[in-house]
Structure formats: structure tokens, C-alpha cells
Structure 1
Amino acid sequence: MSQTLVIKIGTSSLTQATTGHLALSTLATLVETLTRLRYQGYRVVLVSSGAVGVGRDRLGLTERPRTIALKQAVAAVGQGRLMRVYDDLFSSLQQPIAQVLLTRGDLVQRNGYVNVYNTFQQLLKLGVIPIVNENDTVAVDELKFGDNDTLSALVASLVEADWLFLLTDVDQLYSADPRENPNAQPISLITSMKQLEEFQVQTGDSRSGWGTGGMITKIEAARIATGSGVRTVITEGKYPQNLEKILQGEAIGTQFEPQIRPVNARKHWIANVLIPLGKLYLDAGAVKAISQRGKSLLAAGITKIDGEFTVQDSVQICDLEGQEIARGLVNYNRGELQKIKGLHSDKIPEILGYEGAETVVHRDNLVIREQGIGNWE
């Protein structure tokens, strides 16, 4: 079966740092490269930033929009113009494309997640290159991806990609920001996310000031993607032709080796797609039962509750210091849990006045986080 590639290009690579205008030579090279990859048999998805930058350039704004309403309006102006440029370039090479605008709300419902998956599969089967962006015009803070690095990682996981390429304004990952520290050491290969602690990697913001992401969002994207079995590469966006060289085995950029692809797609959805609406703090015994023995969470182990949530919402499960050890879907709302926390399960009917679930979070709806900078188990 042909390999699936997800390529994310950031605003800093798509635009000129000094003017904010589109970097047309980079864009044209990207389009040529992706079209060649398509003709070589790869299935290609492009996650493209730039709508706000293009809209701001079109409107003559000199600063990045600071309010949500202005950002959404500028994105609405820019998205159509950006897609027109893509369509003109791809059409000149007879490569069909499709626009896919997503918010996290499209993915948080399980049936919505499946519908988006089916749409991508059909587009790729037709030989189309989907061009994905966050739907800034309608997204609200609670359901935003926050940055297109995270969006690209979730898309790569969704389409079961083989590769995720994060094209950015630096050539690879360094032990420190090379723009500020001349002793920063390049890192070519990460075999485990725990290595980042050993390298003492420092992260910085986007260089150009036109984008929203920094290296920290790319590392988080790599964690999500590699945890889903997707090999991830951070490399310089000015040279899109390097994609072909990397696929041919050249050591360009920083590669993150994939973990074994998880069998349970539902647990990936819980860990990486859903936004937790609350926190449950556990005593030491409950932490050990969950993190070491894979047990379900019972009310007896809960000491404190934060947030507002209802049944089947996602919550973070933390130790007494607030360190997240797991994440899962709750069987009780906040009000019910306040009444039964710290109590044994056989006391629940007496306290609530009705027969409730024996578990607060069943182990089938619970994912455990590795210690340190790690993946979900």
C-alpha cells in the first residue's frame, strides 16, 4: 500500500519575514514537490498556515490581530486568497486539491471524528491533495487546536500517516536556540521523547513574528504523532524539495522515530483529541493502582476535584502534587463526584439515592501517561 504523508508548512515559511507578503518561490517549489510525490504514488495531505498572514497583508495591517473577532475577520479575508494561490499553482500541474477547514469541535464527538476520517480517505483515494487549516473564522477558544502543529499531528494520526513533516524556520532541532546560543548542538535523531530531557532541549518562539508556533509546539506535535506510529521530521521550510531527499534516506532535519502504532484508536482519541474539562486529584494508593497496575479509578481514591464537567467528559487524573498521570472519561458529573469522592463504591447508592457506576473512570476509557516527557500508554 502507498505511504501517506502529512506536510505542515508554517506562516514563517510561507511569507517573507520583512514584508509579510507570500514567499511565492517557496510556495511554487512546495507545490511542485508535492505534485511529484503524488505522481510517485504517495498519498499527500498539506496542512497550511498563512490565512491570517495573507489577510493581514491584503488589508494592509502592520501587526498581528490581537482580538479574536479581528483575527477571525482577517482569516476570512486571507483563507480564500490563500486557496486561490494554491489552486492556481496546483492546477497548472493538473493536480486536484480540496479545502478542509477543521475545528477541534469536528473531532471531539466520536461520530464526527469518524466522518472526517472517511472524508480524508475518499479524497486520498481520488488522488486529491487535501489542504487543511483550522477554521479560524468560527473556532472558539475552548475548541481551538491552538496551532497548526497540533492540528497536523492530529490529522497525521487520523489518516494513519507514515510520515509527518513539520516545515519551519530552522533547519532542525537544537539543544538550545541557535539564533541566541552559538554553542547549540544539532540533534538529528530522537528515538524516544525522554531523550529531550537528556539533551536539555530549550525551545523558542517563531522567528518571524508572523506565526503562532515555536519549537515547543512542534515537539508536542511530534509526541502526538510518534505516539500514533507516525515518523515525524522537523526541517526547514525554505527548501521543500528536501522532502524527497529525506524520503530517499538522507539525514536532513531532525527525525523522531515512531512508537508502535496503537491498536486502540479510541484511547488515542481520548488522550490527544478531547479537551479535558476537569481535574481529579488522587491519593498515593489510587495513583499506584492506575499507573502501575492499570486499574479503573474508584471514588475512594479521589481527594479533590477541579473544573466543571458532566458524564462522559474528559478529565485529567493527577497525583496530589497536580502531576498528570492519566486521562479519561468520567461516569459522574462534578456535583455527583463531590458527594462520593473518598467513599467506597458500595456507599454510592446510599449517598446519591440511586445505583451509579461502580467506577468513576473505567480502565477501558482511561489512558496512562508515561513519566517525564512521554507518550500515552
Structure 2
Amino acid sequence: MTTMIVELGARAYPILIEPGLLARAGDAIAPLARGRRVAIVCDENVAAHLTTLRASLDAAGVASEVLVLPPGEATKSWSQLQAVCDFLLDLGIERTDHVIALGGGVIGDLVGFGAAILKRGCRFIQIPTTLLAQVDSSVGGKTAINTRAGKNLIGAFHQPVLVLIDPTVLDTLPARELRAGYAEVVKYGLIDDPEFFVWCEANGAALLAGELAARTVAIGHAVAAKARIVAADEHETTGQRALLNLGHTFGHALEAEAHYSGRLIHGEAVAAGCALAFAYSARVGLCTQADADRVAAHWRATGLPDSLAASGIAASGARLVDHMRHDKKMAAGTLPFLLARGIGRTFLDKTVDLADVEAFLDDQR
């Protein structure tokens, strides 16, 4: 087992990574539960994992109650947030009790936000079942729901008390979801670790084909990188944590245009967004065209969208920029962009002219 600690003082928490861990999750959760029952929230896609988790909890003497929600990005909504809170209140959940988020990023974000606001904060445990959630959303305490104005605009920082990651649960993940999660893995190499990007170029195909060793290495590397950044900049105040948003400003605009539907899922939008960030960086002379082409080539090689056209979004630059203006990072009319001086050399630029971005996107069409 690999154990990492997110160093946040009194709120520090462990991340455990081990193949087969889900079947032993009860052993890790029982000391926290202290004889109290736990609440589990999941979606309809993780029925097999739910059975494994409950059996493990039963074996450890931990009773559980379950709420099953519909799958998909639309579940990150006001109505499902109310359903989660009503479920927990009906159970009589106390602030020292534990809520388990079993699922992908949608469930983790929704349940984490519910735990953040229920009785002004109760404890929750992340058990991510998608690659995207394992390497990104389950670590760091960002919780939120979507609204008609945009993605993740209603939320809170609320750290879990424990994260349990079992790479073998990815065996049941659809290939498209696995590829989408892989985009977040590669992101860590593009941000500040060019050697890891080289590793991805060499091992990405094996990871996607099911090689457990490659998956375990990638998850551990990505989680360690995120844990370091979160510990240094928990609330995204110094700019360091903002680096994790590489590809997201462009990507969220694409998701908004797709109405947060299965037409374009989050990791695909991040891949296209990273490609656009490097293409724009090359356009304004920050990085070489060769670097931008190399990023796009890796997305193509792994079945991910490498451009605006490949994302399937045909909206005008003006419309996509209008989506960007609803981004929660807007401040005094300025939107920071994550751009790159090369692979592994990402930085935050607060001087980008949105009119120029609009023209760039129209050219990309």
C-alpha cells in the first residue's frame, strides 16, 4: 500500500493507494466510524463496487445506509443536492459522522458539497471509482454543483478525512471514461514535470490497455503532485494551485456549449483545452509550435480530442468567450489563463485579451 498525507495541519488526511483496497475498505473506515453507521452516496453505475464496499464494511462491523443517484454531469444540481441533504438529515447524520462518496467526480463533488453545508460541516470519505476522480477531484477539497450560469459556480472548500484509491476498480470503467481520466494524468506532466510527460508518451497506451502497474504508477505520481500543491495553496490564493486548472478555462467553455452533456465529457474537454492552451501559447510566441504539436499528437495517439474541431464544438469564438466570462476565476473583468512557455513550463497569465482569444478560437474553427 502507498500512503500519502495531504499536509494541512490539524486537517491533514491520508490517501491510501493499493490494488484490491476496496474489498478491505472497512478496515480503514472502522476506526473513524467508532461504532456509528456511515452513509454512502453513489450512482447507478457503481452497483458492483457498492456491493464490495458494503461487504467490507459489514465484515468490519460498520453499518451503512445507501442513496443511489442517477449517473452523469446533470446530477451535480440543486435538486440532487437537496436529495443528498434530505437523505442525510433523515438518517440523523451528526457532524462527527461520516458520509462516503463512492463514484466519480460528479458524486465526489456533490457529496462533498453536501457534507460541507450539512450542519455547517460533517465528515466525508472519498472512494473514487474513475481515473479522473482518483488523480484529481477526490484530492484537495474542492466541492461544487453546476448551475445554468456555468460549471462549479456554487461550492465550498471542504477536505475529506480519508481518500481510498483502488486501481483495480478501473477494470469496469468504460474506455471513453478511462481516456477522459487519462487527460488529467497527462496534465501533471504538462504543468511542471516534463519527464513525467515523457513517461506518459511511453506508457500511456499500456495504461489505457489495462496494465495495472502503469495505472498504479500514474495514479501515485499524479496524487503526490496534487497533494503537494494543495498543501502549499489550499484555497488557490497564491497562484500555485491555479496551475491545476491547465486546460480548464478553454475546457469549461466547451463543456458549457455542450450543455454539460455526454456529447463532451470533462476529461475530453480538458484534453481539448490543454491543446488549445498550447496552441494559443504558440500563437503569441510563448512556446514553440513543435511543443504544441507534440501535445496534440499525444492526445491523438490516446484517442482524445486534440483541437477545437476534434471536440465537436463548432461555436463561434464570441460565444465561447461569453461562456468564459462566467468563469468563477473572473476578477475585475480579467480572466487568468494558464499558458505555457513549453512542456512542463505552465504559468498563470493575467494579461490575456479576451478579444484576442475570441479571434484565436475563430481561427481554430
- Report the TM-score range of the alignment, normalised by the length of the smaller protein: 0.3 to 0.5
- Give the TM-score, by structure 2 length: 0.39
Relative to total residues, which structure has the larger helix share, 1 or 2? 2
For normalisation by structure 1, the TM-score amounts to 0.38
